Amino acid sequence: MTVTNESVAARLTAHEGMQRLPTAQAELFQQRGFCPPDLAFDLIALIEQGRRPSTIADDNGDAYFRTSETCDLDADQPPVARIETMLTALCGIDPAFGEPLQGQRYAQGQEFKPHTDYFTPGGRDYQTFCALSGNRTWTFMIYLNDVAAGGATRFKMLDKTFHPEPGKLLCWNNRLADGGVNPATLHHGMKVRKGVKYVITKWYREQPWRG
């Protein structure tokens, strides 16, 4: 297993069906059809059972910054164990460095305004969230269903918008080559205009996850 930026990116690039965004600003990939329909169905059912209002480390004083719902997915559940195994095989990162898998549910009108997945060094919550396991490195996000309208993920600084497709994986490196955080990974979970959006997200850390 490996946790180096270079080897993860190289592994993803070599994976059949994986597409890399042609930019030097960030390491950002997508693969269509990564999660099979039966697994997506089971994960959606788990999200429905365990969803709660989403929280955020720093909402910038905006109570509507993140309006989705979140579900902490139990690693002992067979569908969760299955997708975790798939992600490990894909990226090669030691599972010890991974946060527990989360699911998100966005109803009509809900969104997650532009944000980064890493915790800003020197920020008010940096020490709280990074003291034990370090900052976030890679993000892996999977759309689980079709959305009637809206719900795209927009990377404004990269001038790229990804639209929900069942089973589609997005993944990106939150860091630069020198190990610093990459502000170009700023992204917006845009409002769902019609329907409901389900996604799952897996984050990895600089050090083994200690909660």
Q: What tens digit of pLDDT does each residue of 56-85 get? A: 655 555 555 777 899 999 999 999 999 999
Q: What is the pLDDT of residue 64?
A: 59
Residue 36 covered by a domain: yes
Q: What are the tens digits of pLDDT across the range 122-138?
A: 888 899 999 999 999 99
Residue 49 covered by a domain: yes
Give the Cα separation of 55 and 115 in Å (integer): 13
Residue 102 covered by a domain: yes
Q: What is the pLDDT of residue 62?
A: 54
Query: Residue 137: what residue type?
Result: T
Q: How many domains does the chain have?
A: 1
CATH number of the domain residue 72 falls in: 2.60.120.620
Residue 104 covered by a domain: yes
Judged against a pLDDT cut of 90, whether residue 196 lies above it is answered with: yes
- State mean pLDDT over 99-116: 93
- Cβ neighbors of 188 (< 8 A, separation 6 or more) are 111, 112, 113, 114, 115, 153, 154, 156
Residue 210 covered by a domain: no
Query: Residue 155: what residue type?
Result: F
Residue 91 in contact with residue 8, Cβ under 8 Å?
A: yes
The number of angstroms, rounded, from the C-alpha of 123 to the middle of its chain's C-alpha atoms is 21
Residue 86 covered by a domain: yes
Which residue matches tokens 């600003």?
Answer: 25
Residue 211 covered by a domain: no
Element (H, E) at 88: helix 78-91
Residue 169 covered by a domain: yes
Tokens of 53: 């209002």
The residue segments making up the domain with residue 45 are 5-18+26-205
Residue 199 in contact with residue 68, Cβ under 8 Å?
A: no
Give the Cα separation of 24 and 21 in Å (integer): 9
For 23-152, list the strands marked E by DSSP: 28-31, 52-53, 69-72, 102-106, 112-115, 136-143, 149-150
Q: What are the tens digits of pLDDT across the range 136-149?
A: 999 999 999 999 99
